[in-house]
Amino acid sequence: ASYHHACLARGLLEDDGEWRQSMHEASEMGTGVQLRHLFVTILLFCVPSQP
Residues in contact with 31: Cβ distance below 8 Å, sequence separation at least 6, in sequence order: none
List all residues 6 or more positions away from 19 whose beta carbon is below 8 Å from its beta carbon.
42, 46, 48
Domain count, the chain: 1
- 39-50 pLDDT, tens digit per residue, is 999 888 887 777
HEC assignment per residue over 1-51: CCHHHHHHHCCCCCCCHHHHHHHHHHHCCCCHHHHHHHHHHHHHHHCCCCC
Residue 3, domain member (yes or no): no
- For residue 35, being part of any structural domain is answered with yes
What pLDDT is recorded for position 36? 95
Phi, psi of 9, rounded to the nearest 5 degrees: -60, -35
> Per-residue confidence at 31, pLDDT binned at 50, 70, 90?
very high
Instruction: State which residues form the domain around 21.
Output: 15-51
Q: Is residue 23 part of a domain?
A: yes
What is the predicted pLDDT for the residue at 1? 58
Mean pLDDT calculated for residue range 8-22: 80
Its pTM stands at: 0.69
